[in-house]
Structures are given as structure tokens and as C-alpha cells.
Amino acid sequence: MRAVRLPPPVLPVALLLSAALPVAAQERIAVPLRAVVYLESEKARGAGVVISSDGLVLTSTRSILKGRQITVTLYVGPGEEPRALPANVVVRDDWFTLLQIDGEGFRPATLGVTAGLRMDDRVVALDETSKAFSLAVTTLGPVEPMNPRAGGLQPALKLAVPWNGLNAGGPVFNTAGDVVGFAQGPVEGNFAGTRALRVEDARDFLLRNKAQLPPRQLTVTGLPGMTAGGELVPETSLPLTLSFRPHDIFTLRVRQDGSTCGVLRPDTARYEPVQAMGLGTAIPLGTLSVVELPPQATVTIETLEVGRGPMTLACMGQGQYAVLVAAPGFQPLRESVTIRAGETTTLRAPLRELKGMLGIATRPVGGEVWVDGKLLGITPVAELGLAPGAHVLSVRFPGGARVRRAIVIEDRRKLDVGTVDLPPPGALLSLEHDNVNVVYLDGRGHGTLRGHVVITPGTHVVQARDEMGNVLTDTWDAPPGGFREVRFNGGSSTAAPVLHGVGVLSGVVGLAGVVLGVAVAAGIPLGTVGLMWGLGGLNDLRHRGTWAPALALGLVGAAPCLAVGCTGLLGALALAPPWERLLAQGSVAPPGRPEEPIPFTPTPGWELRGVAQGTDGPRTPDVVPTTDPGGPAQDPLGASP
């Protein structure tokens, strides 16, 4: 420890301790001596430090104890005697006291931090041997780490300077001239030094009692066209004057010509009565660029929403800000960004889309899937993408009653609700048939459709073409919630195809026999005549005698062929045409039970809702066959409630 005393004529000046140090260890230590004050009450004496230009004095409660009449002695300058002023207690607890003295223009000290201090670091404290304004350079003993737990005092600093009770509450400065502690008492044990409360404890004391601190003012000035406002401050054209208390936390949104250009968080940890911020003039600003985000994303800085979509904010105050980027259906992004004067900070916010999956099937199939009032698909649905969270899922056929339930979708997971029994919109047709090739519903062919078929209320024509080519028809005026069984018994004969085949073959043979018989009957006489003509002429008496035998031979040869041909043609005429249709037209079986609505019981966990009138216009869906042709007990029937 090296004490520095200035001669009486030179004593009242701001202390620069560099000249008092050895050359080898010379360093410049500027300490605000004018901020140091001596205190005296009816119970004790001590020291403190001025922390604001309007006369707030911070000290240890040990310096004045519980005294009420307190006098503050100020250092004024060269050639002047120290000035004594009365002080009032603003707030105090067992460890610290905050005083107020009247006046202005005081020279305050700055509260620093003890982070980074190590053993043997140099600090400056009041001289233990002097009763005047005299400081001494000393060193720190072992520095214990900060206590991370909330509540209680932090481990004290240990100074090598001996304890002097007259300096209780006196400030301890680091080499930058910031207050890092307050002298509190002697160090216990063999270390003959002074114990000092850390400045962090003083900050906690001020923060706990900020409601008792006198109000401060902030004046914000800016360029023409600038406005500012926040959570509790309406948007106002600059200049703007705000009232606050130290350690209040608030932010201001800055707009220029109607567009948001930045956010400011004033430094309220200072205790000056009036602070000023000059936007774009006295204080250099930084720029924040938010890019690569969905167009509908909102950007919130601290607690202020500043806009949507990509943006560049050129009026950002220096400091650290919490930025939230959020968009419906995307994972929010929370980032802490640091804004520096004259620099552009870029925040990339490629938000990840939130998405879960829904799987659902219905019995019968073909139901509409509605989620939160929006139609999103037709069952069966394997993977329907949905945003995570609570939703209302309802399923129905167009225009009919619906079943619904509340579901919760989790991000990156699939919720399969299984197969749901679904009430039909109007009627359910149970279709069965025998010996039928094609089934028609309202004129549209559906192959060999069978089983339960969902149809809308109204008149419907059900037809079937049987194996014999007959068309069987049934007409049903389907009531809401009705049920009808239709069975087509088509005409059929096992021998008919064989007989038709024999008739066709007989016709082919008969036609061939007729053609061959005609060829023989005409070919033999004509051939004979031609041969005779070639040999000697037609007038030769020898040749004339062959005409009659040739004609007779032709007729004899053609007779069997013509007989076979005529027989074949007669067989074809008898067997090839579908004469059996007249005897096997088929039939339509009458309904097996009354056409009455069958009560519908929803699947457990689902709520049955009636038809919402006026919400959806009437629509006629395509006929939807079921995939389960089981009995009615397995298929839901019922009218809309």
C-alpha cells in the first residue's frame, strides 16, 4: 500500500495518482475526488460518495448508524474551505443509506462492477491516517467469486489499507475511477486490512428501493419527421420528455415519416436527474436487418411489435435487444442481438413450419373431414398435415349430420383416430343381386356394386342388367335417414349358352350346305355342256343326249347338300335367337323390412351433431359404396337430429 498526500496548497484538486507511483509501475489512475464526501450524525461519522449531479449520496449505514440529523461535508476546490450541507435520508436498510442534499451541479461518481477483479489488483480508498480529503492506492487481498444465489450479501472485498472507523462507508475506486465497494469494517483474522461491501450489493439496494428514489427525466430529440412512443407512452413527435425512476425498464418505438425505423432502450441505470438522447445527431445509431422469414411473420423487439415480413431498421439504439419472430403455423424464433453504432446487424429467421399429421377412416367411406370449420379432405385420410395445438375435428357426409371430437396435434407426430362410424346424410341402400352384370344408380354404371351404399334424400332409380341382357329397375323416394333393401334376381339359363352356340354352328353349316348344294346343282350340267361344246359342238346329236343325264346327276348330287343346309338354317333360326328372355326376365325382390330410420350410435368419444341449417348449401355427392359389405348392425344408419 502506498499513501499519497498532497501538500495543503495543492490538496483540493482532482487526484491524479500517476505521479506518486514508481516509474516501473507507473499507471494513470484518475479518481473523482469531488464525488467523495464526509458524513456526520449525532451517532457516528463516516464517508460516502455522490452518485448524481442533483445531490444523491450513497454510503454504508455504518457511517451514520440511525442518525437523523446528518451533515455532509463537500470538497469544493482549490483555495476554498470544504462546505457543510444538511442531508435528508431518502431510504436506508441495515447495510446502505441513500441521502439527498439540496443543490445542483455536483460531480458524481460512476458505479462500476467487481467482475474481473483479482488479488493484488490496485484500488483507491480513503487514507486511513488522514481526517481530510486524502486518498491512497492500495491492493486487494484474495477475491472470492460472486455468490450466484439470490439474497444476502456478496463476499466482501479485502483491502490492504488498515481500517479507520472515521472512513466507514467511504468509496473504493478501481483504476478507471468507478466505485467498486464501500468500506465497512476491519477484516477478521490475521489479515490487517479493511473489509468493503461490494458495489453489486449497493445496486441491489437501489433496485429494491427504486420507488423511493426521486424521479428522473429523459429528453429524446431527433431529426424532422421522427416520432417515438412505447407501451405506456403515446406516440409523440420529437422532442419528447419522459419521467422515470432509475432502473425502470422501458422501450421506445421510433418512427420516421410514419414508418418504423428502430427501437430504443434508454440506459436507466444512471442516477442523473436529466438525461438526453439525440436520435441521428448526438448518439450514433445502428441498423438491424431481419431477413429470410415468412411474409406474414411479425417482428417484436423487447415488448414492441415493429412490423411484418422482412425489414431493415436503421434507427436502432446501441445495446442488446431481445427479438421475437413469430408467424402462424411456424416455430417462433427468439434471439438476442447486439446493436453497435454505425454497424448493420443481420438476423436470419428461417422459421420452421409447425406440422403434425392426422389419420382417419370412416364406415362408410367417403366422409368429409372438417378441422376447425374448414373442409380438408375425404375419408379415408392417411396423413393430413395440421398445425400443432388443439383442434375440433368433425366428419360427415355432405349435408348430413356429423360426428365431432376435440383433438390435440403435436409437432412432428401423427394422430390416428382410427375408423369412425358415420351417419349418412339421407339414406342407406342395401344392394344385393344374383346373375347381374352391371348395376346402375341414377343412370351411372357401377359394375357389380353390392353392399351398403350412401345416397342423398330424394328420388333415385336403381337398375341392373342381368346375364340375359334384361334391365331390372327399382325406384325409391329416399326419406332422410331411410334404409332400403334392394335385391335383383336376374334371368339366367345354364343350357342357353350351349343352345345358342349350337344354333350359330348349325347356321354356319346350313349356309355352307345351301351354297354347296346350289354349286353342285348348277355346276354339273353346266360343266357337261361346256365339255361337249368343246369336243364337237352343241348341235352334235351325240352330245344332245348327255344334257338330261347331266341335269339329273346335278340334282341328285345337290339334294343332300341342300338338305343339310336347310336343316342347319332351320336349327340356327330355332337356337341362335334369345327366345329364353321371354321366359326368364328376372325380378326385383320387395324390401325385406320397413323403410324407417335406424337409430345411429356414434363411436365412443365422438359427439353427434345435427345438421347445421344454412351453413352449407345442398350438394349432391357421388354415390359412395362401402368397403365393408357386412350386415346393418355393423353399418351406421340414422337421420340428422
1-38 pLDDT, tens per residue?
Answer: 333 333 333 333 334 343 333 333 445 677 888 899 99
Rounded-to-integer distance, Cα 280 and Cα 261, Å:
12
Task: Tell me the three state secondary structure of residue 432.
Answer: strand
Rounded-to-integer distance, Cα 361 and Cα 355, Å:
20
Residue 598 has pLDDT above 70, yes or no: no
Residue 538 has pLDDT above 70, yes or no: no
DSSP letter assigned to residue 144: P
Report if pTM > 0.85: no
Task: Tell me the three state secondary structure of residue 62.
Answer: helix
Listing from the earlier edge strand, what are the strands of the sheet with 344-348? Answer: 311-316, 286-291, 344-348
**What number is the average pLDDT over the span 37-49?**
93
Rounded-to-integer distance, Cα 196 and Cα 181, Å:
6
Q: What is the CATH code for 2-211? A: 2.40.10.120
Backbone angles phi, psi at 496, to 5 degrees: -60, -45
Angle in degrees, CA 92, 98, 101, rounded to 5: 135
Rounded-to-integer distance, Cα 489 and Cα 464, Å:
9
**What number is the average pLDDT over the span 293-298?**
88
Rounded-to-integer distance, Cα 412 and Cα 409, Å:
9
- Closest of 307, 304, 285, 286 to residue 296, by C-alpha: 307
Rounded-to-integer distance, Cα 435 and Cα 494, Å:
11
* Residue 372, C-beta contacts closer than 8 angstroms, at least 6 positions apart: 391, 392
Indicate the class that CATH gives domain 216-348: mainly beta
pLDDT for the residue 584: 62
Task: Tell me the three state secondary structure of residue 20.
Answer: helix
**Which residue(s) pair with 576 in the sheet?**
none
Residue with cell string 466482501: 156
| Amino acid code (one letter) for 367 | G
Rounded-to-integer distance, Cα 512 and Cα 494, Å:
29
Confidence of residue 595 (pLDDT cuts 50, 70, 90): low
Confidence of residue 330 (pLDDT cuts 50, 70, 90): confident
206-237 pLDDT, tens per residue?
Answer: 999 999 999 999 998 888 889 998 877 888 99
371-430 pLDDT, tens per residue?
Answer: 998 999 999 998 888 888 899 999 988 767 789 999 999 988 899 999 998 876 667 788
Residue 53 has pLDDT above 90, yes or no: yes
Task: Tell me the three state secondary structure of residue 19.
Answer: helix
pLDDT higher for 121 or 283? Answer: 121
Residue with cell string 411484418: 308
Cell of 252: 421506445
Euclidean distance between the first and the last CA atom of the chain, given in angstroms as a whole number: 95
Residue 125 has pLDDT above 90, yes or no: yes
Rounded-to-integer distance, Cα 304 and Cα 628, Å:
58
- Closest of 440, 497, 500, 492 to residue 465, by C-alpha: 440
**What number is the average pLDDT over the span 349-353?**
88
- C-alpha R_g of the chain: 54
pLDDT higher for 325 or 430? Answer: 325
Neighbours of 199 (CB within 10 A): 23
Task: Tell me the three state secondary structure of residue 68.
Answer: coil
Residue with cell string 354415390: 623
pLDDT for the residue 38: 92
pLDDT, the chain, mean: 81
**Which residue(s) pair with 587 in the sheet?**
489
Cis peptide before 621 (omega within 30 of 0): no
Residue 359 has pLDDT above 90, yes or no: yes
Angle in degrees, CA 358, 395, 447, rounded to 5: 100
496-518 pLDDT, tens per residue?
Answer: 667 777 778 887 888 887 888 88
Neighbours of 298 (CB within 10 A): 17
Q: CA dihedral in degrees (2, 8, 12, 14; nearest 10)?
A: -30
pLDDT higher for 629 or 327? Answer: 327
Rounded-to-integer distance, Cα 323 and Cα 313, Å:
13
Confidence of residue 467 (pLDDT cuts 50, 70, 90): confident
Q: How far, CA to CA in Å, does 371 sit from each of 263, 306, 330, 375?
A: 40, 32, 18, 7
Q: CA dihedral in degrees (31, 32, 38, 39; nearest 10)?
A: -120
pLDDT for the residue 324: 95
pLDDT for the residue 526: 78
* Residue 33, C-beta contacts closer than 8 angstroms, at least 6 positions apart: 13, 14, 15, 75, 133, 135
Q: What is the CATH code for 355-423+600-634? A: 2.60.40
pLDDT higher for 507 or 306? Answer: 306
